[in-house]
Chain A
């Protein structure tokens, strides 16, 4: 297989471990047993019969469907889309990500653009991304450095978001806790919670005592201080606590 130019890789894998490695100037190569069709722009890999490693040129787009089995993406890749019923998903660097998993732990490093994750159960962590669109039924969501806007939904998992800069946030959970950390000086145009307890923490403190009671109405007031960028925050937990803090 020749290589060098980013292209698309499509993999249908059963229950085997799959590794995709993006290498700068790397040639295409495949370690493992599978059926490969290469039409010049898209490499389609199916009938995977063992653990598989595919080395692709940096920046290549990858679409993977698997029943189960661990998936790892190493190096810098383009758009990475993964769907699996179970099996850990681990992605280092990608231009954008779309992960769908019924029951998987999902760990994502750096995503330049949109990071979209859907899981039934399993923890989701993202190191950094542009926009984040993450939902899970019963897993915990941790978004470390978000520079765009956030949509985070869980039914029973905790949601923790650290914003790199001011960006609109919608975080919703039924029974989980929500913790949102904003850069110092960010003005919050709106903060609301449909129920639960909302607590707004000023910078340099663990709590300023500005805590609403369980009726949960906290709309309208600016939660932050200073005159920095403005964002809209909608953080709703039906029974859990909502904490919006400036750091």
Chain B
């Protein structure tokens, strides 16, 4: 690896919210229902995400990660709103039988580095860990998200959570009704 390849691509710093979504039980669903059904589920979840992101300033899907999506939304309150709509839409589809799995969401707010179309940094790493703490149809957020929009939404404290790769416990909250 030469020096240029280690330094040239990572540049701008931005502040905003990183949201990860995850389909609960996707691997097992894929195993028992096959690849075609799994592909349909992935396309369905992407479709719902795209609908929920419409009109949200600066929001975009950064990348697809297996059965999950990584999303950038500059405003923390917008991120909570998007997550709430997302879980709600998926819930409606599950209720009418048109979508088989639950979705869960984790959000963190802070600085990220842009690397091409990708985003990197601890905000991204932490957001990826937060989604692991959420149950089906649940939205879990960091203290930074709560601080950014505590007047906007209702949050319930989960407590200090130790997550892999992060030295200090994170105070996490669930979005009420999420």
Using a CB–CB distance below 8 Å, which chain A residues touch chain B? 10, 12, 63-67, 81-85, 98, 100, 116, 118, 133, 135, 137, 151, 153, 155-156, 172, 174-175, 192, 194, 234, 238-239
Q: Name the distance in Å between B76's Cβ and chain A's nearest Cβ.
A: 22
Chain B window 22-42, contacts with chain A (Cβ cutoff 8 Å), 1 for yes, 0 for no:
001100110011000000000
Can you report 27 A-B residue pairs in the complex whose CB atoms are below 8 A from each other? A10-B160, A64-B159, A65-B159, A65-B162, A66-B162, A67-B162, A81-B159, A82-B159, A83-B160, A83-B161, A83-B162, A83-B172, A98-B174, A100-B158, A100-B161, A118-B134, A118-B135, A135-B136, A153-B24, A153-B25, A153-B135, A155-B25, A174-B29, A174-B32, A192-B97, A194-B100, A238-B33
Within 8 A of A (CB), among B124-172: 133-138, 156-162, 169, 172
B102 & A81 in contact (Cβ 8 Å cutoff) = no
Chain A residue numbers with a CB within 8 Å of B157 are: 63, 81
Give CA–CA (A192, B32) in the complex, Å. Answer: 19
Pick from A84, A156, A172, A238: contact of B102, CB below 8 A.
Answer: A172
- Chain B's interface size range is 20 to 34
Say whether B32 contacts A194, CB under 8 Å.
Answer: no
B159 contacts A174, C-beta separation under 8 Å: no
Kindly list chain A residues whose C-beta atoms are within 8 Å of the C-beta of B97. 192, 194
Complex CA distance for A65 and B32, rounded to whole angstroms: 36
Whether the pair A153, B136 counts as a contact (CB closer than 8 A) is yes
Q: What is the CA–CA distance of A64 and B169 in the complex, to the nearest angstrom?
A: 11
Contact across chains for A238 and B29 when beta carbons are under 8 A apart:
yes
Q: How far is the CA of A174 from the CA of B97 in the complex (A)?
A: 15
Find out whether the CB atom of B169 lies under 8 angstroms from the CB atom of A65. Answer: yes
Other than A82-B159, A100-B158, give 5 A-B pairs with Cβ distance below 8 A: A10-B159, A100-B159, A151-B136, A194-B97, A238-B28
Q: Are A98 and B160 in contact (CB under 8 A)?
A: no
A151–B159 Cα gap in the complex (Å)? Answer: 22
Question: Would B158 and A135 count as touching, CB distance under 8 A?
Answer: no
9 nearest A-B residue pairs (beta carbon): A65-B160, A174-B28, A135-B135, A63-B159, A83-B161, A118-B135, A155-B25, A81-B159, A153-B136
How far is it, in angstroms, between the C-alpha of A12 and the C-alpha of B169 when the chains are bound? Answer: 8
B169 to chain A: which residues have CB within 8 Å? 12, 65
Cα(A66)–Cα(B82), bound, Å: 31
Chain B contacts for A151, CB-based, 8 A? 136-137
List the A residue with the shortest CB-CB distance to B160: A65
- Closest Cβ of chain B to A241, distance in Å, is 14
